[in-house]
Amino acid sequence: MAQIDGKKRFMLQQLRNSGEIFVLFSRCTRLPYVYCDQETYNDQIYIFRKEENARGAAEEYGKQEIPVQVLKVENKDFLNFYSSLYFLGINAMLVDEGDEQMEILLEELVTPPDYSKMPEGQIRVDNPEFQLTAMYLMQELRRAPGVQPTEEMKEMEEELTANMRRGVYIVPVQEDKKVPLMKIKEDAMFQPIFTDMHEFNKFGGSSKFHGAVIPYDKLTEVVAEQAKGVVINPLGVHVIIMKEQLK
């Protein structure tokens, strides 16, 4: 990590201690809008200190048919929000002060997860590579009706599939041992599964379900008979996989 100068140190204090920040969220993924910086190749999100600047940026993106919205994050939620970015594969943020912008690396703001301290036998359940690729892909595919896949999108689809198959998933199970199903696509039923606890908790988490940890190659054994397939992170990137595609 590069040495932090006084100006950046002050910005880090603001990001930890201010009352609120404003973040651009993609309407295509219900997650922060992510952008790959062409110079650093960092996967960034956009943070604004002032709401009016955030809304101005959202309006400009709208003119480019990039559907985004402004969400406020309050101080009490800062740590959870910043920490969740690791699970999305995001490693930087561009902070807008109105008259200037500053790139902040995520590791300068919050400590990354330390999986070396996991108890023996416990399985790591996250897939930031899948999440990040899905965010980039869905931001393009869903930005407007009738978008035609480009070669770049097809490459992202291949990468998404590869990352998906390497994953381990949280499968919610109800007290009666049944699994919840969601009605999608002309009343077809799909079984929700999750890449990590952050996504699982959006769905109710352990307060409503037992979470079974299942590797990708075992998913066919737990998909309900009446389900047409699975939906990965339904309250986020919402990736639908038909049952026959799991084989």
* Domain CATH number, residue 196: 3.40.1350
Judgement on whether residues 23 and 102 belong to the same structural domain of the protein: yes
Q: For residue 119, is it within any domain?
A: no
For the cut 70, the answer to whether the pLDDT of residue 66 exceeds it is: yes
Q: Tell me the β-bridge partners of 21.
A: 73
Asked, for residue 54, whether it belongs to a domain, the answer is yes
> Which token pair is 185?
């696509």
Domain count, the chain: 2
pLDDT in tens, 127-162: 999 999 999 999 999 998 888 989 999 999 999 999
Q: Beginning with the edge strand found earlier in the chain, give each strand of the sheet holding 188-193 in spatial order.
A: 182-184, 188-193, 229-232, 239-242
* pLDDT score at 121: 72
The CATH number of whichever domain residue 82 belongs to comes to 3.40.1350.90
**Rounded mean pLDDT, 220-225:** 95
Asked if residue 179 and residue 87 are part of one domain, the reply reads: no
pLDDT of residue 1: 58
Kindly state whether residues 104 and 174 are assigned to the same domain.
no
Could you report the per-residue pLDDT of 154-180, keeping only the tens digit for each?
Answer: 999 999 999 999 999 999 999 888 899
Evaluate whether residue 143 is within a structural domain: no
**What pLDDT shows up at residue 151?**
95
* Cα torsion through 214, 216, 222, 224, rounded to 10: 130
Same domain, 16 and 103: yes
- Whether residue 17 sits in one domain with residue 97: yes
Which of 36-40, 72-76, 192-196 is predicted with the least confidence, judged by mean pLDDT? 36-40
Residue 208 in domain: yes
pLDDT at 3: 66
Same-domain status, 103 and 27: yes
C-beta of residue 179 within 8 angstroms of C-beta of residue 203: no
Measure the CA–CA gap between 187 and 223, rounded to whole angstroms.
17
Q: What is the largest CA-CA distance in the chain?
A: 59
104 and 30 in a common domain: yes
* Contact residues for 90 (Cβ-Cβ < 8 A; gap 6+): 32, 34, 43, 44, 45, 106, 132
The neighbour count for residue 141, using CB atoms within 10 Å, is 16
* Strand segments (E) across the chain: 20-26, 31-32, 34-36, 43-48, 68-74, 92-96, 101-105, 168-173, 182-184, 188-193, 210-215, 229-232, 239-242
Question: pTM of the predicted model, to two decimals?
Answer: 0.93
* Domain that includes residue 76, residue range: 6-108
Identity of residue 143: R
Structural domain contains residue 149? no
pLDDT digits (tens, 9 = 90+) for 73-90: 999 999 999 999 999 999
For residue 71, being part of any structural domain is answered with yes
